Amino acid sequence: METSARLLNDRYELGALLASGGMGRVWRGRDTVLNRPVAVKILRSEFTGDASFVARFRAEAQHAAALHHPNIASVFDYGEVEENGEQLAYLVMELVDGESLAALLARQRQLDVPTSLRILRGTAAALSVAHSAGLVHRDVKPGNVLVAHDGTVKITDFGIAWSASSVPLTRTGQVIGTAHYLSPEQAQGGRATPASDVYALGAVVYECLAGRRAFEGENSVQIAVKQIREQPEPLPDTIPADVRALVDRAMAKDPAQRFPDGDALLRAVDETLAGRPPTAHDAGPTGTAVMPLPVLPPDDDRHVSTPPPERRRPTALIAGAAAAILLIAALVGGIGVLSGGDGESSAATPTAAEQPSTAAQTPPTVTLDPAAYLGRPVTEVQAELTALGLTVALQPVQTADVAEGAVTALTPTDGLLAGATVTVSHAVAPPAPPVVVEDDDGDNGNNGNGNGNGGKKKDRERGGDDD
């Protein structure tokens, strides 16, 4: 979509591109009616014909608009319009004069304790309001935490938030979130709770203090398994003991051992800042537990999608051994395409039924969600699909509408067996237009882009400067 010098819905003037993700792009804009700066998020045109994507986008507007707090980016407007034959859905938000925490960490890598606690407190305060309203964010990560130049912290992107009062926007088998900040219960297919957001925020602050993520791996599957089974490396001894204890409790494997919600975490942060020991009801856990592999019934947001711990009691193995072989394949389908960085979150959906293992069992298949890949660098997408056991065929597509190297399409995406070939189309810049040189008029010697060789040749012939 061409956005130069144009109005969206005859009201919002679009300026510079601020961010681009799997589902949409965010532009710096101006509300010409109220004459104020805004941020305008536009759903990618290839998704506007998909009712599920539009519903998720609309839900982001509804969820965020219902929340009012200084640490939550405000939503001003939402609309769905047709312009120049193109269906558009857009969200108008508060423009935060600053940058995302992801950008800040990319530049500085490690933050000091006061800055980290300020970010923790502001985000915990925002989650406290959301949790009180019955919302679970489900995708707390550095890319969704905005840090203004004056130090104000604001959380954004409630696009995949879960609400007890809302219609489920995910399908059975989907695991929603970003692998590096995914709670153990979400990685195992359990429903996200306020304690899940607490875990994600704990992982974010761990990264701020340690200068590294809590868990790394070659792909999202490995990272998710580590979230379930492993403990992160201890924070440096230079971090005060009470701050380390705060982060340790937020990242407890067992949700019952964490702060139960944003409000409890906020109170604990305030006590830490005041130099007071935790109260009895906020005392940290004596240890953390590796969560057992659950056997869950079908549900809108739940799916068994992780391998079991290496050793389990025989009685537990009897209940789960029949399905254990397929769980690893389900993990690849359910978590394997979660955004490993800070792009738009998404998920793949496994289509293989979890049936008792037999010699004639049908091989598991995987269904890919295009939103997890479109707009991302082709090298990243190729690596992730290869990690899923798929064969990737790259297809360059000349276009000036998408950043060079960005993925524009995937096919096929349904019912993929191991080793299946997926064609990944990616943008390449079109060739420069030809330069027309007219021998009888030196002034017409550069009809191209202003820097063509034809123009420079004529300039040299008349003694001009190439610059």
Whether the full predicted model's pTM is greater than 0.75, yes or no, is no
Kindly name the residue from 139, 157, 197, 301 that is annotated as catalytic: 139
Q: Topology of domain 373-428, per CATH?
A: Trypsin Inhibitor V; Chain A (3.30.10)
Structurally, at CATH architecture level, domain 99-335 sits in Orthogonal Bundle (1.10)
249: left (phi over 0), alpha (psi -120 to 50) or beta: alpha
Per-residue pLDDT of the chain (467 residues; tens, 9 = 90+): 444 457 999 999 999 998 877 678 899 999 999 999 999 999 877 777 778 778 878 887 888 888 899 999 999 999 998 887 788 899 999 999 999 999 999 999 999 999 999 999 999 999 999 999 888 998 899 999 999 999 999 998 876 666 544 444 444 444 566 889 999 998 888 888 999 999 999 999 999 999 999 999 988 889 999 999 999 999 999 999 999 999 999 999 999 999 999 999 999 999 999 988 666 444 444 333 333 333 333 333 333 333 333 333 333 333 333 333 334 334 444 443 344 444 433 333 233 333 333 334 456 677 888 878 888 888 878 877 876 778 888 888 888 777 888 889 988 988 888 778 999 999 888 775 554 444 444 444 444 444 444 444 444 444 444 44
431 contacts 399 by C-beta, under 8 angstroms: no
Q: Topology of domain 7-94, per CATH?
A: Phosphorylase Kinase; domain 1 (3.30.200)
Domain ranges for the chain, please list them.
7-94, 99-335, 373-428, 433-467
Active site residue 139: yes
Query: 391-398 and 421-428: which strand pairing?
Result: parallel
